[in-house]
Amino acid sequence: MKSPLAHSLMNRVQGWFSHAHQTATDSQEKVCDLPETTRQLLAEQLAELPVPVPYVEALQTACGQAIADWQEGAGTTNVLVIMTEPVVPLPAILCHALDHSPLDTVNIHYPLADYDRPAEPLIMSTRFYQALEPLIGEMETSDGSRENAGATRADGCQRRQVIVVPALEECFLRSIHGWQTIEDLQTHIVENPAFFWIIGCSSWAWAFLDRVCHISAYLEQVYPLPAMTEEELEQWLSPLVKEAIVAGAPDATRTQADAGNRESYWKALTRLSEGHSTIAAQLWLQSLGIQEKNWPQEAEASRSPDDLALCLRKPVLPTLPELTQLDRYLLHSLLIHSALTQEQLTVSLGESATQVRSRVQILRRDGMVMHQQGHLTLAPAHFPRLRSELSTNNFLTGKVP
Amino acid sequence: MINPSSFWQITARLAQLQKDSPSFQDVFAEITTPRLMRGLLSVLLAYGLTWVINRFTNWLAEKVPRRFRLAIKQSVPFLKGMILVSTISYLVQLFINLSQTDLLALTGTIAVALGFAFKDYVSSIIAGVVTLFEGPFRMGDRVRVRDHYGEVVDYGLRGMRLLTPDDNTVTIPHNIVWTEPISSANSGQLEAQVVTSFYFEHTVDVEAVVQILYQAAYSSRYTQLQLPVVVVMDEHPWGTQFKLKSYPIDARDEFPYKTDLIRRTKKACNQAQLAYPTMSGYVAMDHASEPTSNFRMP
């Protein structure tokens, strides 16, 4: 196991070399950044990319197996937690995988589909209960009492209700009374063995909840979302641009060298992104460039990426901007909850709204924080370096098992 | 204290040595301009180096991740000590021609002279060197010496400097540390336990208070979640005292942390309508914020 100092130093040294290499390559071939319109177009296309197939297949297999075990044996656990890093959009992946799964022997329910976490912790518990209770209440009424349900469903064919909580981190807020919902959920899960629960959770939220309400004691079966391989990432991202050569090979040997360069490019991208789709997607977009000789005229700058001769530069992790203490606390809070509204962030930090708003504004300008559909999230490309930064600054960080 | 009989023995021995030793001129090297310049330069260089090391390590300690801050700060006294020893050795070698007998005579003379004239100063220096190796506290620790509490921000030849929560710098001679008890809150660690007291009526719902206090600590952004949070209680004639013991991520955040805990706990207690002790009379508070017996019962 690497010490935090060694990890931090390695990151820094890698950063220097990556920069040095990119500068050398850029100066050899004079590779420029993409025109803004093209970059924007590609970013939109990236957002519309289908959920990566390896994720879907892995989740379908894991859920199918866990449900089959639960249906067969009376002693097995009735919950499966899918865990990944906070910058991976697990709710979308999980819902897509289950919606397209061949699980036809079970009824899948999403009781929290319309649940919107309020910023006031005391209301949160009531809203959560309102969202969850009708489903459980209805099932109990139709199938008999809770105790009865547990006993009579010893035979597998009766066990067919699956409840999905796509993002556990959206069910609590770090504040006094803020995780009452999680404690209620733990009780529901333990007291209703007749229902199978599939819960998505980020490793950071898990680490926090384990400290404050010992969640791992109740939700014991954890499945880490597997990392994507370099071939899988290439297969997922490459269709976005018709042809992009890898910058760095001299013209005379381009054909032979390109295959090798391409392989090392995808290897580097997978290593830096740790196989996480969203991090890889952002790094890939940042690494796209265009050779100066192929730079489009002003009128052509808005052409589709397919019409431009794009090239791939060596991927690098973006450097973190100068962070204040409040920034670190703010980003740590964002990572625990994956996504927060500004109001929720203020409650979670226990800081004045004005202070939080101004820091968020600065972090958004620096590209650290993104604002999507009313929620603030961390820019995925910054995640690896930020995790190391927070860890060496004595913060509690998550770790996917 | 020097024993009077020992003193006379040393003086007699020195007199004997002076008889046997070479003249004053032979002991001290000839003072020439280049030698004087070299001496002056070495003093200036030592001063400059000390200044640079002080500035650089302080700058570096604030730039690196918190985990490495204390280790970097701790190197300052050692580096300063090395510079001091090297400079003094160089100056002695530059200006004094020492034989074995001269060395003995000189050491004795200096010891006696310093013993009388700069007793406290020498005592502080020696105490500083011993403290450095004994390590009852380190640079960056939060310590209490007598009535002074603060972060150790400098460790000099004669004393150390504390930066108090009120932003005052207090210089404490090392010889005080030599004789007085010194309490270090974090002993070289980044975290230091913070104890926050809360007071309620005897009839208060204890379970509700304990629950709120635990949650206040766990939900504070400053809390080091990897260390335990504990609530302990104590009974007083005027009410029940709850002590919340927890650790901030960085000991430097001690006071903002305490404020954060109190602010959010009070808000939650007000929402839950938990009763504080009611005292109709005057209450004198001591330094630990605990009411003394100087009050009238409600």
pLDDT tens digits for range B141-174 = 888 988 899 988 888 877 888 999 888 999 988 8
Q: Of the candidates A175, A208, A394, which has its C-beta nearest B67's C-beta? A: A394
Q: Of the candidates B221, B265, B268, which has its C-beta nearest A333's C-beta? A: B221
Tell me the backbone φ, ψ of residue A244, rounded to 5 degrees.
Answer: -130, 120
pLDDT band of residue A304 (cuts 50, 70, 90) is low
Q: Of the candidates A178, A212, A394, which has its C-beta nearest B66's C-beta? A: A394
Q: Do B215 and A329 touch (CB under 8 A)?
A: no
Inform me whether the C-beta atom of residue A11 falls under 8 Å from chain B C-beta atoms. Answer: no
> What is the mean pLDDT of the segment spanning B254-258?
93
pLDDT band of residue B10 (cuts 50, 70, 90) is low
Q: Do B68 and A349 touch (CB under 8 A)?
A: no
pLDDT at B287: 43
Distance between CA atoms of residues B244 and B231, nearest Å:
5
Distance between CA atoms of residues A66 and B157, nearest Å:
68
Q: Do A350 and B260 touch (CB under 8 A)?
A: yes
* Chain B residues inside the 8 Å CB shell of A122: 271
> What is the mean pLDDT of the segment spanning B269-298?
58
> What is the mean pLDDT of the segment spanning A92-102?
91
Q: Of the candidates A389, A393, A396, which has its C-beta nearest B225's C-beta? A: A396
Inform me whether the C-beta atom of residue B274 falls under 8 Å from chain A C-beta atoms. Answer: no
Inform me whether the C-beta atom of residue A333 falls under 8 Å from chain B C-beta atoms. Answer: yes
> Which of residues 34 through 93 in chain A touch B, CB cutoff 8 A?
none
pLDDT at A225: 95
> What is the mean pLDDT of the segment spanning A312-319?
90
CA distance B249 to chain A (A): 6
pLDDT band of residue A306 (cuts 50, 70, 90) is low
Dihedral sign for Cα A380, A385, A386, A390, please: positive
Chain A, nearest residue to B228 by Cα: A211
CA distance A111 to chain B (A): 27
* Chain B residues inside the 8 Å CB shell of A394: 65-67, 190-191, 224, 249-250
- Neighbour-count burial for A33-59, b at 16+ CB within 10 Å, e otherwise: ebbeebeebbeeebeeeebbebbbebb
The token pair at A351 is 């800081």
The token pair at B237 is 């004639």
Contact A324, A156 (CB under 8 A): no
Q: Tens of pLDDT along B112-144? A: 877 776 777 777 777 777 777 777 888 888 889
Chain B, nearest residue to A174 by Cα: B219
Q: Which residues contact A360 (CB under 8 A, 6 or more apart)?
A: A330, A342, A345, A369, A376
Q: Of the candidates B215, B225, B263, which has its C-beta nearest A211's C-beta? A: B225
pLDDT at A376 > cutoff 60: yes
CB contacts < 8 A (A, B):
65
Q: Of the candidates B65, B218, B271, which has its C-beta nearest A212's C-beta? A: B218
**Closest to B218 in 3D by CA, of B251, B254, B248:** B248
- When scoring A176, A349, A389 by the number of chain B Cβ atoms within 10 A, the one with the most, hence best to mutate, is A176
DSSP state of A30: T
* Average pLDDT in chain A: 82
pLDDT band of residue B297 (cuts 50, 70, 90) is very low
> What is the mean pLDDT of the segment spanning A147-172?
71
> What is the mean pLDDT of the segment spanning A312-326?
91
* Chain A residues inside the 8 Å CB shell of B221: 174, 329, 332-333, 348-351
Q: Are strands A161-165 and A195-202 parallel, antiparallel or unpaired?
A: parallel
pLDDT band of residue A25 (cuts 50, 70, 90) is very low
Amino acid at A339: A
pLDDT band of residue A246 (cuts 50, 70, 90) is low
pLDDT at A144 > cutoff 70: no
CA distance B50 to chain A (A): 27
pLDDT at B54: 85
Inform me whether the C-beta atom of residue A32 falls under 8 Å from chain B C-beta atoms. Answer: no
Distance between CA atoms of residues B169 and B138, nearest Å:
17
Chain B, nearest residue to A207 by Cα: B225
Contact B61, B72 (CB under 8 A): yes
CA distance B67 to chain A (A): 6
Give chain B's largest Cα–Cα span: 90
Kindly report which listed range (A74-88, A208-222, B72-86) carries the lowest average pLDDT score. B72-86
pLDDT at A168: 94
pLDDT band of residue B286 (cuts 50, 70, 90) is very low
Inform me whether the C-beta atom of residue B223 falls under 8 Å from chain A C-beta atoms. Answer: no
Inform me whether the C-beta atom of residue B181 falls under 8 Å from chain A C-beta atoms. Answer: no
Q: Do A394 and B191 touch (CB under 8 A)?
A: yes
pLDDT at A44 > cutoff 80: yes
Q: Of the candidates B190, B212, B219, which has its C-beta nearest A178's C-beta? A: B219
Inform me whether the C-beta atom of residue B212 falls under 8 Å from chain A C-beta atoms. Answer: yes
pLDDT at B146: 87
Chain A, nearest residue to B260 by Cα: A350
Enter the pTM of the model: 0.79
Q: Of the candidates B191, B215, B224, which has its C-beta nearest A177's C-beta? A: B215
Q: Do B191 and A392 touch (CB under 8 A)?
A: no
Inform me whether the C-beta atom of residue B74 falls under 8 Å from chain A C-beta atoms. Answer: no
ipTM of this complex: 0.82
Chain A, nearest residue to B66 by Cα: A393
Q: Do B224 and A392 touch (CB under 8 A)?
A: no
Comparing B288 with B235, the larger pLDDT belongs to B235
Kindly report which listed range (A23-32, A72-81, A245-254, B63-72) carries the lowest average pLDDT score. A245-254
* Chain B residues inside the 8 Å CB shell of A2: none
Q: Do A178 and B221 touch (CB under 8 A)?
A: no
Kindly report which listed range (A76-80, A234-238, A246-250) carries the lowest average pLDDT score. A246-250
Contact A374, A335 (CB under 8 A): no
CA dist B206 → A116, A353, B212 (Å)? 33, 32, 10
pLDDT at B211: 94
> Which of residues 212 through 251 in chain A touch B, CB cutoff 8 A?
212
pLDDT at B9: 61
Q: Of the candidates A8, A175, A212, which has its C-beta nearest B65's C-beta? A: A8
Q: Which residues contact B159 (CB under 8 A, 6 or more apart)?
A: B124, B128, B171, B172, B173, B174
Q: Dump the DSSP string for B144-169.
A: EETTEEEEEEEE-SSEEEEE-TTS-E
Looking at chain B, the whole-number percentage of residues with pLDDT higher than 70 is 84
- Neighbour-count burial for B119-143, b at 16+ CB within 10 Å, e otherwise: eeebbbbebbeebbeeeebbbbbbb
pLDDT at B276: 86
The token pair at A49 is 């990319």
pLDDT at B20: 55
CA distance A302 to chain B (A): 43
Chain B, nearest residue to A121 by Cα: B268
Q: Tens of pLDDT along B170-227? A: 998 888 877 888 888 887 788 889 999 999 999 999 999 999 999 999 999 999 999 9
Chain B, nearest residue to A328 by Cα: B221
Q: Of the candidates A4, A5, A349, which has its C-beta nearest B221's C-beta? A: A349
Inform me whether the C-beta atom of residue B143 falls under 8 Å from chain A C-beta atoms. Answer: no
Q: Tens of pLDDT along A105-127? A: 888 999 888 888 888 888 888 88
Q: Do A393 and B249 touch (CB under 8 A)?
A: yes
pLDDT band of residue B292 (cuts 50, 70, 90) is very low
pLDDT band of residue A75 (cuts 50, 70, 90) is low
> What is the mean pLDDT of the segment spanning B95-100?
76
pLDDT band of residue A88 (cuts 50, 70, 90) is very high
Q: Tens of pLDDT along B44-69? A: 999 999 889 888 888 888 888 877 88
* Chain A residues inside the 8 Å CB shell of B264: 175-176, 350
